[in-house]
């Protein structure tokens, strides 16, 4: 079973939900903002992906950070920021058990999941 992590009201999440449903793929959705699973999963996600891929530097939450918070981000600082502000995690994070997909890309989803 696929597990898809994100925030329910995110437009990108909605696109991923539609794509998965259209392709008959069952999934479990985990709202990481509400369930607090970030602390437990973040080290694994960073190990299986690049922290630069996982850290959403294009969203509103990133823009709300202070200049000091946005400066000199390395893996440790990125992890601390994503723990503190889960909205900084690029959505969705889809875990198939063997593959971790970050962000929604129809071609990548098709290649990895179908």
- Evaluated on CA atoms 74, 80, 82, 84, the torsion sign reads negative
Residue 111 has pLDDT above 90, yes or no: yes
What residue spans define the domains of the chain?
A: 2-113
pLDDT tens track for 75-100: 999 999 999 999 999 999 999 998 99
Q: The whole model's pTM is what?
A: 0.90
Q: What is the model's pLDDT at position 38? A: 81
- The single residue of 10, 30, 37, 73 carrying the catalytic annotation is 10
CATH of domain 2-113: 3.40.30.10
Residue-wise pLDDT tens digits, 51-74: 999 999 999 999 999 999 999 999
Concerning whether 1 is annotated as a catalytic residue, the answer is: no
């Amino acid at each position: 079973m696929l597990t898809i992590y994100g925030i329910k009201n995110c437009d990108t999440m909605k696109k991923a939900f539609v794509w998965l449903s259209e392709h008959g793929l069952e999934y479990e959705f985990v709202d990481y903002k509400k369930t607090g699973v970030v602390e437990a999963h973040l080290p694994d996600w960073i190990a299986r992906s690049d922290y630069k891929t996982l850290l959403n530097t294009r969203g509103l939450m990133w823009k709300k950070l202070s200049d000091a918070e946005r400066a000199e981000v390395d893996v440790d600082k990125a992890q601390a920021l994503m723990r503190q502000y889960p909205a900084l995690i690029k959505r969705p994070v889809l875990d198939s058990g063997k593959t971790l997909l970050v962000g929604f890309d129809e071609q990548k989803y098709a290649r990895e999941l179908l």
